[in-house]
Amino acid sequence: SSSSSQGGYFPEHVKAMTSLRWLKLNRTGLCYLPEELAALQKLEHLSVSHNSLTTLHGELSGLPCLRAIVARANSLKNSGVPDDIFQLDDLSVLDLSYNQLTECPRELENAKNMLVLNLGHNSIETIPNQLFINLTDLLYLDLSDNKLESLPPQMRRLVHLQTLILNNNPLLHAQLRQLPAMTALQTLHLRNTQRTQSNLPTSLEGLVNLADVDLSCNDLSRVPECLYTLGSLRRLNLSSNQITELSLCIDQWTQLETLNLSRNQLTSLPSAICKLTKLKKMYLNSNKLDFDGIPSGIGKLANLEEFMAANNNLELIPESLCRCSKLRKLVLNKNRLVTLPEAIHFLTEVEILDVRENPNLVMPPKPVDRTSEWYNIDFSLQNQLRLAGASPATVAAAAAGSGTKDPLARKMRLRRRKDSAQDDQAKQVLKGMSDVAQEKNKKIEESGEAKAPDLKTRRWDQGLEKPQLDYSEFFSEDVGQLPGLCVWQIENFVPTLVDEAFHGKFYEADCYIVLKTFLDENGSLNWEIYYWIGQEATLDKKACSAIHAVNLRNYLGAECRSIREEMGDESDEFLQVFDNDISYIEGGTASGFFTVEDTQYVTRYCWGQGLGGDAWGRQCPTSHRGRLSPRLYRVYGKKNVKLEPVALKGTSLDPRFVFLLDHGLNLFVWRGSQATLSSTTKARLFAEKINKNERKGKAEITLLTQGQETPDFWEVLGGQPEEIRPCVPDDFQPHKPKLYKVGLGLGYLELPQINYKLSVEHKKRLKADLMPEMRLLQSLLDTKSVYILDCWSDVFIWIGRKSPRLVRAAALKLSQELCGMLHRPKHAMVTRNLEGTECQVFKSKFKNWDDVLRVDYTRNAETVLQEGGLAGKVRKDAEKKDQMKADLTALFVPRQPPMPLSEAEQLMEEWNEDLDGMEGFVLEGKKFTRLPEEEFGHFHTHDCYVFLCRYWVPVEYEEEEEKKKKGEGKGEEEGEEEEEEKQPEEDFQCIVYFWQGREASNMGWLTFTFSLQKKFESLFPGKLEVVRMTQQQENAKFLSHFKRRFVIHRGKRKERASPPQPSLYHIRTNGGALCTRCIQINTDAGLLNSEFCFILKVPFESTDNQGIVYTWVGRAADPDEAKLAEDIMNHMFDDSYSKQVINEGEEPENFFWVGIGSQKPYDEDADYMKHSRLFRCSNEKGYFSVSEKCSDFCQDDLADDDIMLLDNGREVYMWVGTQTSQVEIKLSLKACQVYIQHMRSKDPTRPRKLRLVRKGNEPWPFTRCFHAWSVFRKPPA
């Protein structure tokens, strides 16, 4: 539907679909029925609604299987409906509503199998008497919005009719005496039919199934007496009448759920209305109700969800109304309200509270205890230790050592003290029991022996404890509750339910779980659980089938064991489950393990609401999971982004719009000279989402303006055009997306189009403000189904996680056919999207697609327990589900001890023994050049380096016994020859380390990936590994190759200061000798420390002597580190420098203190090195968690969007970034307090103090914990 067929074009592919059974051609601009329909001899359902048809004459009568004809909203007249279509034997559905008919179609009475007849919204004046003589099987009849003044008496023959709609007809003289005969009637709509008390039947007792009655917009002065006898009534609409009062007989409507009494003359409601306990919706708008008019017992309506009483005379509402805990919508606007009950704040489910146009209204104050400061998380030390897995003794010790006062515990003690008088009897009983136990123990001690009581031993299976795990994600609540068979297929480590039609059909490369539920001799449920393993199944499927079979047993609480069945060796009991009818099918789903593949990027070009090329193509390429499609878009609207792909050429650019060019790891945002700043900003944000969600943050986003493009941009587009002109028509309208649902019928495929304006496809009804916008919603997509979204220039396949495999395969084929059926541009593409990994372009097609986890941060434990109203109903299940998760385990893990020097040297020796060779390269300009060997170990903060390391892989030789076994039965000479031939060869592995300085840009990494990396991959195919590192975040294996001589200089490699300036280097080891670095720092005497070694270079201006270099050794420095500092000095500087090793206190005044600036006070100890720890607090996992950085942390580990906790042994600093949320700040503060409380019990001699630090305002005790602290770097260009 919605595909234009104007101009006589109709897809020729349809003619070849001879087995087509269902065809929907709505909103296609048809003026006549296409001739291609004559070939569809198996067509059963035809829908041609919302077109311009004036006649249905054509090939319809030649379709023998036709069952349904839907031709609503056309321009059909009486002569346009052929008589011969009513001779079709199977015709059961006819919809001719919203046309121009003035009489019923002739020969309609011949359609004896008619079940659904809709002739509404026409101009029909009379109904022939003979019409309903033959149409006795009708189930649905709609004659609304016509000009009928009477109804034929033969309607009493419609004894099977379930729905009768007669709205908006002048039926003044119609007595409706036919109604009592329609005993199967369920829905009766008589809106605006001039109903009064006199022209309604006196009794409707025989309509026991009638559940929906609409008598609105009539002249009723009171509720008709015949309605009080309808005990099964669920929905009643009496709005827009003249009703002044309600009878006490309304308590007969025990099943009523919706009651609409708006726009009447009611002054009060009877107390009997409180007996309608199933009532969910009550509408009382535009009446004359006051405070006394609403009964005080209205709180008994526990299921009430909507209460609307706008435009009345209410000054106050009863407090009992606030006891309706399920109330979601409360509308009280245009009244005389003065205030509301305080209990209004306890209605936690309320979504809409409308109190507008009440000028004297004063809202009651919100209770203080409703504010939840810590987001319903228990931050007590005992609870966090318990969650971290600490022993009960540790938890008890923490509770005993806690000196903080608990106000809640104090309140409970006071309450127990108040009620102590009632507990005297219980205390006496406990005292008597304790006295008896003491006497018994005393006798045992005197006798010297204790007789053990005879206890019956428990069976082994009774001793097993069911693990407290949540299986709701794998198995539904009704699994195993009814006798029958359930089968699950293992897919991506998770069991997926198999449709009943596929039971007994097993794929050879899959594993299955089979559950048989039956009733035993006692009538109790019992189960048999099997897990079937295919012959070609992978290891992950085998393991998961066994694991989830046990999980299913635990979920059901079954005592049976899970039985293993293998393909071709099934037991008789297993075969009987399927009545000995099982079959094997070749194939299976992919393994759940990840396979490493090079990501391929499909380079396309798209613009915001742009037009495609003028060349049309029939074949549509398919984009799979490892391939990404670029997009260009123009932003309009306030929320969602619109985008449209165009041809990949420079002439597609338009100066009025913003374009996005996706070239793999390069995203170009091009802004036209006439484009708005808002569109540019939204385009940039969209590119950021693509980079984050689809490129893992590895793509580079380049913002370009018209006239300032880079050569790379024009190279992708195939060249720069002579002139960029407006090419998009001013009247361009985007194609409306069409959503199809892929289904499997009985031997055929189904592809129905979803009308996403309707709310029937949603779990909840659409809100009124969403209905007119005709927008797609994410809730339309069901995880058990597969959908195709046709956007004309894009066709998307969305695959639900629990969808059947055959439907997935069918969707791919159908999408290709659908793409080639209509004229589309050459750049049209079919894109496959899996649930949970959708691309940003697909998400942008939907309204308010939201990936953010919805969490209610305003609830605490008390409010969860009190949820349900003022009565204080306890809901323990809600407490478990709604309580936020928090992981503070890292705070209780002991600090990682430093690695001993001997162990570090051993590791260093082993890694260097495996190293065959290492070549270094450095980026100079736009290419990498070879690094001289004398510069190995020297790095600069503004440069990028590449090291190619070749490692020897040891050969594994076979054991002697295995060789003898293989040599048995062979001659001695033959065995020797075979051994020589099978001698394994030595292998090697290559690792490329990319090192990026702290101040270097990302261009070095891009240059490496597009040049040097390609060359290495061609030289060492299949044996190359690339490791990217940044300054001070190197791995230990890389550091070991420099044997602790790792020097980092400031600036660029070939940059020399003029005149030469003194430079100071700090040598420091973090967590072990492997992590030793010598880094240049500010030349400041205040940075010296008595526990470290420093190297100071003082340059001279003379030519014969370049300067003097000092190795400054602190008095408390490690001797091994002092020796290392001297070696580094000799390695860094040649003989043109004078070198000198000086101890602390022996510094020469002339050169040392003058070169370093001046003598200043400095730290004489580095005790913080023994205690420093860095923690990260974040919500990135969907819940609050704390993780610890390794001991070799650096300044770049401070994440700007998180909270960092630094413990230096005396203070605990809470470091706050500039992009941190308020939620993280509050939760991190409580985590800090928990950590300080825990360390107080672990190390009482070193109490910590809490300090707050903002980014950019760090004090010296904070910065000295980081090696070579400097100003924060800006994002690399």
Do 734 and 833 have their domain in common?
yes
pLDDT of 398 > 50? The answer is: yes
pLDDT of 522 > 80? The answer is: yes
pLDDT of 615 > 50? The answer is: no
Do 911 and 1013 have their domain in common?
yes
User: Which pLDDT band, with edges at 50, 70 and 90, does 160 fall under?
Assistant: very high
627 and 600 Cβ atoms separated by less than 8 Å: yes
| Beta strands at 786-790 and 738-744: parallel, antiparallel or unpaired | antiparallel
36 and 60 Cβ atoms separated by less than 8 Å: no
pLDDT of 394 > 80? The answer is: no
Six-digit token string for 811: 């969707």
| 538-541 contacts at long range (C-beta below 8 A, 24 or more positions apart) | 538/509, 538/591, 538/593, 540/493, 540/591, 540/592, 540/593, 541/490, 541/509, 541/510, 541/511, 541/591, 541/592
Q: What is the pLDDT of residue 873?
A: 39
The listed range with the strongest mean pLDDT (722-726, 748-752, 753-757) is 722-726
Greater pLDDT, 32 or 257: 257
Determine the average pLDDT of the residues in 417-446.
Answer: 67
Determine the average pLDDT of the residues in 552-581.
Answer: 90
Q: What is the pLDDT of residue 960?
A: 52
Do 727 and 843 have their domain in common?
yes
- Does residue 279 form part of some domain? no
- Does residue 30 form part of some domain? no
Q: Which residue has the tokens 């409360």?
A: 330
Q: What is the pLDDT of residue 466?
A: 57
Six-digit token string for 890: 């890292």
Predicted confidence (pLDDT) per residue in 1038-1084, tens digit:
999 999 999 999 999 988 767 788 999 999 999 999 999 999 999 99
pLDDT of 1152 > 70? The answer is: yes
Do 622 and 720 have their domain in common?
yes
pLDDT of 415 > 50? The answer is: no
3-state secondary structure 511-568: EEEEEEEEECCCCCEEEEEEEEECCCCCHHHHHHHHHHHHHHHHHHCCCCCEEEEECC
Q: What is the pLDDT of residue 630?
A: 55
Least confident window among 112-121, 542-551, 617-626: 617-626
1091 and 1116 Cβ atoms separated by less than 8 Å: yes
The torsion angle over the Cα atoms of residues 462, 463, 468 and 474, rounded to 10 degrees, is -50
Six-digit token string for 527: 């189960």
Determine the average pLDDT of the residues in 156-178.
Answer: 90
Determine the average pLDDT of the residues in 53-66.
Answer: 87
Predicted confidence (pLDDT) per residue in 901-917, tens digit:
999 999 999 999 989 99
Least confident window among 1-10, 520-529, 635-644, 670-679: 1-10
Domain boundary among 796, 827, 851: 851
Q: What is the pLDDT of residue 872?
A: 41
DSSP label at residue 652: G
Amino acid at position 839, single letter: C
Q: What is the pLDDT of residue 1069?
A: 95
Domain boundary among 1165, 1197, 1226: 1165
Greater pLDDT, 192 or 793: 192
Cα distances (angstroms) measured from residue 967 to each of 958, 961, 976, 981: 13, 10, 9, 14
Do 993 and 890 have their domain in common?
yes
Determine the average pLDDT of the residues in 989-1008.
Answer: 93
- Does residue 680 form part of some domain? yes
Q: What is the pLDDT of residue 1234?
A: 92
Q: What is the pLDDT of residue 574?
A: 93
Contacts of 723 (CB under 8 A, 6+ apart): none
* 797/815 Cα distance (integer angstroms): 7
Q: What is the pLDDT of residue 386?
A: 78
Q: Which residue has the tokens 């085998």?
A: 542
Domain boundary among 529, 564, 585: 585
Domain count, the chain: 5
| Angle formed by the axes of helices 392-401 and 1222-1242, nearest 10° | 100
User: Which pLDDT band, with edges at 50, 70 and 90, does 170 fall under?
Assistant: very high
Predicted confidence (pLDDT) per residue in 464-511, tens digit:
555 667 777 788 888 888 899 999 999 888 898 888 888 989 999 999
Predicted confidence (pLDDT) per residue in 333-363, tens digit:
999 999 998 888 888 889 999 999 999 899 8
- Does residue 322 form part of some domain? no
1134 SS3 class: coil
Determine the average pLDDT of the residues in 234-248.
Answer: 93
153 and 176 Cβ atoms separated by less than 8 Å: no
Do 485 and 536 have their domain in common?
yes
Greater pLDDT, 956 or 824: 824
User: Which pLDDT band, with edges at 50, 70 and 90, does 889 fall under?
Assistant: very high
3-state secondary structure 1171-1235: CCEEEEEECCCCCEEEEECCCCCCHHHCCCCCEEEEECCCEEEEEECCCCCHHHHHHHHHHHHHH
The listed range with the strongest mean pLDDT (428-442, 468-482, 669-683) is 669-683
3-state secondary structure 200-237: CCCCCCCCCCCCEEECCCCCCCCCCHHHHHCCCCCEEE
Mean predicted lDDT score pLDDT of the chain: 83
Cα distances (angstroms) measured from residue 612 to each of 619, 643, 686: 15, 12, 21
User: Which pLDDT band, with edges at 50, 70 and 90, does 16 fall under?
Assistant: confident
Determine the average pLDDT of the residues in 1226-1235.
Answer: 92
pLDDT of 292 > 50? The answer is: yes
- Does residue 396 form part of some domain? no
Six-digit token string for 131: 């019409």
Helix, strand, coil tally for the chain in percent (to 5): 25, 20, 50
User: Which pLDDT band, with edges at 50, 70 and 90, does 983 fall under?
Assistant: low
Do 492 and 565 have their domain in common?
yes
Report residue 713: phi and psi, to 5°. Answer: -60, -50
Do 633 and 747 have their domain in common?
yes
* 115/822 Cα distance (integer angstroms): 35
Q: What is the pLDDT of residue 463?
A: 52
Do 529 and 651 have their domain in common?
no
3-state secondary structure 300-341: HCCCCCEEECCCCCCCCCCHHHHHCCCCCEEECCCCCCCECC
- Does residue 998 form part of some domain? yes
- Does residue 468 form part of some domain? no
Determine the average pLDDT of the residues in 682-705.
Answer: 87
CATH of residue 1188's domain is 3.40.20.10
Strand segments, DSSP code E, in 802-934 are 824-825, 829-834, 886-887, 915-924, 927-930
pLDDT of 442 > 80? The answer is: no
- Does residue 201 form part of some domain? no
CA nearest neighbour of 94 among 86, 103, 102, 83: 86
pLDDT of 1158 > 60? The answer is: yes
Least confident window among 549-563, 961-975, 1096-1110, 1186-1200: 961-975
Print burial letters for 899-915: b (CB count within 10 Å at least 16), e (below 16).
beeeebeebbeebeeee
Half-sphere exposure of 783 (CA within 13 A, CB side): 9
- Is residue 471 classed exposed, middle or buried when 0-12, 13-18 and 19+ CB atoms within 10 A define those classes? middle
Predicted confidence (pLDDT) per residue in 181-230, tens digit:
999 999 999 999 998 888 888 888 888 999 999 999 999 999 998 888 88
The torsion angle over the Cα atoms of residues 36, 42, 44 and 46, rounded to 10 degrees, is -10
| Beta strands at 616-617 and 824-825: parallel, antiparallel or unpaired | antiparallel
pLDDT of 877 > 80? The answer is: no
* 1079/1266 Cα distance (integer angstroms): 12
pLDDT of 627 > 50? The answer is: no
Q: Give Cα 290 distance to the centre of its chain.
A: 47
pLDDT of 758 > 90? The answer is: no
Six-digit token string for 1009: 């990936």
Q: What is the pLDDT of residue 381?
A: 80
User: Which pLDDT band, with edges at 50, 70 and 90, does 1 fall under?
Assistant: low
Amino acid at position 425, single letter: Q
Strand segments, DSSP code E, in 298-456 are 306-308, 329-331, 352-354
Q: Residue 682: how many CB atoms within 10 A of its CB? A: 21
Q: What is the pLDDT of residue 527?
A: 92
501 and 487 Cβ atoms separated by less than 8 Å: no
Do 581 and 615 have their domain in common?
no
Determine the average pLDDT of the residues in 779-791.
Answer: 90
User: Which pLDDT band, with edges at 50, 70 and 90, does 734 fall under?
Assistant: confident
Do 1156 and 1171 have their domain in common?
no
User: Which pLDDT band, with edges at 50, 70 and 90, does 34 fall under?
Assistant: confident
Do 485 and 571 have their domain in common?
yes
Q: What is the pLDDT of residue 725?
A: 87
Determine the average pLDDT of the residues in 768-793.
Answer: 74
Domain of residue 558, residue span: 480-585
pLDDT of 966 > 60? The answer is: no
* 818/812 Cα distance (integer angstroms): 10
